[in-house]
Amino acid sequence: MTQTTHTQTTPGQAGRPRSPEFRLAADALRGLREDLFQDAFAYDPLPRLSADGRLTRRLSGAGWLPHTVVAALGVMAMSLAVAGSFESGPPALLCGLLALAPVLLTLARPVGAFWLSLAAGTAAAVIGRGDWSDWPWMPGSFLSHLVVLTVVALRTRPRTAASMWVMTAVYGFVVGDVFGAHRYDTNVTPMLLVSALILLAVSVRHIRHQAQREMTAQQTVTEHERSRRTLLEERTTIARELHDVVAHHMSVVAIQAEAAPYRVENPPEELEKAFATIRENAVAALTELRRVLGVVRAEDYEAPDAPQPTLADLDGLLANVREAGLTVEKAVTGAVRELPQGVELSAYRIAQEALSNTLRHAPGASARVEIGYVLGGLGLRVINTAPPAPHLVKPSPGAGHGITGMRERVSMLNGEMTAGPSPDGGYEVTVFLPAATATEGDA
């Protein structure tokens, strides 16, 4: 026999929803415990300045500058503590060491230095006869605690700075008002006002730097997404352009397969079936190819009326860029021959993009297009001179996207490409596209 026990939740138990005020107070106490009590004396050394900083590149040993500044402030607080003590000899020296120790401890254990500063300030006031001075911080301890608050706030987060200010206020009111009623004067209010201004400035600095880091990270992600989108757009454009080339070849295969049986007198039945199968497969491939094109086609894409360009249309391209103001020359070496349509289309587009980049990024420069028909492929070189007034050239927001498209076309054909500045200050794009002749490719 199985017994089932039902537990009822009564008001006041843990299952009762808490008020927003209670949750806010609980979160504040949890944050205070995490910031100032949990691993308060954990070892956390102050790092050196980065070697890539402007100051460290100019001055040798500047990496230790933060440590030097903190130590100098500690010595200053020590001197003020010794001078402000109403005792002389060892008690005065002890007051100075109590002001120096918390400041130096911020270099290794920042949160622990805060607690040491509170304890050392009380001890210094007692040893240095704080009855005749401000309470609970003597002059040296006052400066030492401000330095500790500043350094710890710089090394931690804004919430820790707020927690330290709250604990300083609690310490000041308890020690200053409860145990210091008969003292000469209290400096709790000046400590809270000055430390609040300092911690507020440090927190604003932290928030500003955090915002800059987030903005830099967002810009990096945005640039990565933009590059990725550009790459996909280039690949889509190449796929759309190659559709006409592939469709032409598949159409030729279908037509030849359909006409082949009529060229043979009394062809065997098996041969007719084979050609019919070839034609059916070619037509099916054309259908699937059109479906793929529909997937990669943009919403505003319009199919071109003219066939895709080849190297035979390069002279027309050069005439257009000359009308746009670019002085360009053309040089052809080797035996001109017909190449596969994909190779000629890619070569034409690469030359077109390289000349467009010259018009955008090097106004006033001259260009040269070199085409080399070599054994096993096609060589293409587009080079432009340096612009006559480079200081007037404005950076283009799309810089580098054209190079991405070129590399995609070359990679598609298993070719090679180099692009970069030329020795005379211009820019050079060199491409090799492996290809057999059109006749060999159709064989």
Strand, coil or helix: what is 432?
strand
What is residue 30's predicted lDDT score, i.e. its pLDDT? 81
CA distance 235 to 404: 10
Strand, coil or helix: what is 401?
helix
What's the gap between Cα 369 and its chain centre? 37
- The sign of the torsion formed by the CA atoms of 53, 59, 64, 65 equals negative
Q: Which residue in 348, 350, 358 sits closest to 328, CA to CA?
A: 358
What's the gap between Cα 392 and its chain centre? 29
Q: Tens of pLDDT along the chain (443 residues)?
A: 444 444 444 444 445 667 777 777 777 778 778 888 888 888 999 988 776 666 556 666 677 888 999 999 999 999 999 887 777 788 889 999 999 999 999 999 999 999 999 999 988 888 876 555 678 888 899 999 999 999 999 998 888 899 999 999 999 888 877 666 666 678 888 999 999 999 999 999 988 988 888 888 888 888 788 778 877 777 777 777 776 667 766 777 777 777 777 777 777 888 878 888 887 887 787 777 666 666 555 555 555 555 678 898 999 999 988 888 889 999 999 999 988 888 988 899 899 989 988 888 888 889 999 999 998 899 999 999 988 876 555 555 554 567 888 888 898 889 999 999 998 889 999 999 998 755 444 44
What is residue 194's predicted lDDT score, i.e. its pLDDT? 95
What's the gap between Cα 43 and its chain centre? 31
Q: At what angle do helices 139-155 and 65-84 cross, to 10 degrees?
A: 160
**Model confidence pTM above 0.95:** no
419 beta partners: 429
Q: Which residue in 161, 221, 160 sits closest to 197, CA to CA?
A: 161
What is residue 361's predicted lDDT score, i.e. its pLDDT? 84
What is residue 145's predicted lDDT score, i.e. its pLDDT? 95
Other beta carbons within 10 angstroms of residue 122's beta carbon come to: 19
CA distance 341 to 379: 15
Contacts of residue 132, defined as CB under 8 A and 6 or more positions apart, other chains included, come to 86, 184
What is residue 11's predicted lDDT score, i.e. its pLDDT? 47
CA distance 256 to 276: 11
CA distance 144 to 99: 6
Q: Put residue 377 in one of left, alpha, beta given phi > 0 → left and psi -120 to 50 → alpha.
A: left
What is residue 417's predicted lDDT score, i.e. its pLDDT? 94
Q: Give the N- to C-terminal CA distance of the chain in Å, as an integer.
A: 85
Task: For the chain, give the number of residues.
Answer: 443
As to burial, measured by CB atoms within 10 angstroms (0-12 exposed, 13-18 middle, 19+ buried), residue 42 is exposed
CA distance 363 to 120: 70
User: Are 47 and 107 a contacting pair, CB within 8 Å?
Assistant: no
CA distance 39 to 41: 6
